[in-house]
A and B are shown apart, each in its own frame.
Chain A
Amino acid sequence: MRKTLLAASAALVFAAGPAMAQQKTIKIGFVSTFSGPTAVIGNDMRDSFELALDHLGRKIGGLPVEVIYEDDQQKPEVGKQKTEKLIESDKVDFISGYIWSNVLLASIKPVVDSKTFLVIANAGPSQVAGELCSPYVFSTSWQNDQTPQAMGLYMNQKGVKSVFLIGPNYAAGKDMLAGVASTFKGKVVGQELTTWPAQLDFSAELSKAKAANPDSIFVFYPGKAGVQFLSQYEQAGLKGKIPLYTAYTIDELSLPLQKELALGVPGTQEWVNDLPNEANKKFVADYIKKYPGHKPSFYGAQSYDAVNLINSAVVATKGNLSDKEALRKAMEKANFKSVRGGFKFGNNHMPIQNFYLQDVVKDAKGDFVLKTVATVVKDGQDDFHAKCPMK
């Protein structure tokens, strides 16, 4: 009796299937951090994601869209749980977000196992660019080593002879410091990894850096940690004594808090808000209009691009999400206008893009702004694409 019941229900479900495909809503899951000191990043990503949807008339490929935002609390195990919930309970068609490399690495297995398309909007661990690459995983950000590598090249240009590296002890932190060391031609006189995200007191590390007497110090501290670092850097009396070089420590989110502490401290990035292409001008202008008092950061720019990437693929396959092969091919074409200007994917679905030097200057009104100073790397590709088995 039970078997007949099961069979009957199964038949019903299958019969209803194609009928249901007609009026479909595109469901997108977005996993980011919305609590704690780094919530400001998650909020910026969400705001930019929403702006992109507004620009598309709240439709992806002509179909209505629903976004479900989940908070990973900056913890890998929570991010994984939320990812699974989005896949199993909410049955999303696409997943995006992921600020932190460790959260991404914990969450990637359920995504790939369920054949859900993932568009990473920030994290860039080397494993995902290499051996863990997957036909379902795409990135609109960068690979962790690339940005600090660009900084290493810039430091060579400036004739810096030695550096002391400081960063947080998790996947991205280690990648960042390794990235600088790989292109910097001078001497690395010391390296300190701090407990992440709990440790926000850098007195011990700053003391050690001072004692090693390097030509320069390189740091990577995203979010509020960046604010804390710069302020403790000054408190330790190092500002003006030992020049500081950064990646992802000074951005549109932390700059309003860092203010003059960030003046003259360079960073490298794949996107700065004054990039001169049309898509970017529209993005930045509309963002400021929609969210007065705020400027978008690179986190937001990457999220904006993620929406447009998804849209371009759904448009190309005419809303047919069940043909995963066609969808994948459409995603790989990256047929959308990125706020970065040129955008194309490598074999491992990581972007091949330029890296710019950004500096902090005072504008005419006396505000502190980020300015693109030079292009340090053109069409840079990450070092790990060869390890990826996809061609």
Chain B
Amino acid sequence: MGERDDHRGRRPTGESGDDWFDVLWDEQEAPPPRRDELPARPGAARVAGAAHSPGARVSGPPTGLPLAGGAPSGQARRAEHLPSGARRYGRPVAGDAVGSRRQMPAGYVLLALVIGLLLAGLLNAEGLARAAKEQPVGARRTVLVAFTKPLTALSSALRLHKAGDLIDRALGRERAVEDVDVHRRPTPGATPSGAAQSSTSPSPNASPANKEPTAEDPLVLWVGGDSMAMVFGESLEALAEKTDVIDATLDSHVNTGLSRPDYFDWPKRLRAEMDGLRPDVAVAVFGANDWQNVEYEGQVLRRGSPEWLELYRRRTSAAMDILVGSAHRPVWWVGMPVARNAEQSAVYRALNKIYVAEAKKRPDVHYVDTYTMFCDASGRYADYLIGLSGQRELMRQGDGIHWSRAGGDLAASAVLDQIKKRWRIE
């Protein structure tokens, strides 16, 4: 944006002798001019050069955050008033061309920075407060929440918060439920996501289990969840497409989970999705971000404690019930895979135990064990496993948790095989 260029098809200014892929060079020949040796733009020489003549050293005040130094009216005056014996500052490099821009002393810059951040904070106090509350429960969150409280109060008193509301209204969005990664294809007859409908309203596909999918009346598949659902869901969409009789829709939201409905209200989202899209089958993946302390009825429940596990079980149970709904929609619940980090793996085993137990209570919910699917022959985590190609492929992203494309394909294929078998799709 406004990068240096003459926009007339010529070489950028100052590069006439610097032919990037056409340089005759040998040990004896002078290297092409470096950028910092290039001539300054017009005007730069007068301003920067006057103050920074080559070889000259500029003396300065002994303190590090001067409030003087760059103001236009006082340059000469300040130069006269510089303390004798003040330390010397580095000769500016040749690229120090600033054109006619006024350079500022550090104190002024700090003032501008602080004013900018504070005022932006006041204008967006509600957003900051929301972001603070969304932090994992702990000391950091407590401090941030305490910091944003007076900010929110002041913003409210000055009515500055109205600006954010105006923008949100203009964009027609609800900040708390911001789409992060949604690939949605229009489905005939589907109502917009988030439509206020009862989650218990009967589905027109009264018995999705008995449906006979065709290209004209495809099996509507919803796949969603946290960041684990992103690559997996894309793979499932792509594989489902090949059947010609399954229409998949992905709804994944990074940094979300079931343990923090105060951050992202998955139950609300699931209700809206099930009522809006009315899928015949749902596939869900959760757990990547769920292992964190939560605040419940004014109490902080430490992750992994019996109270925490019980609350998480209830939230899993509720999510499964919403997905199944009154139509007894078949649901595939994909467990968390083994992770590179042993402690993380232990966490996922604990979460998977809850998913398995809750799935067992519901005949419509099928649990998919990806933990062992992504272990090697010795039962341990492995980056490389035999993929759908029949060759060893990289299964994970750099974090050792999220699936790579090959990993997503492998997991999605396992789920799709079960779905195809269930509906006798070739």
A-B interaction: no
Binding site for B on A (CB under 8 A): none
Binding site for A on B (CB under 8 A): none
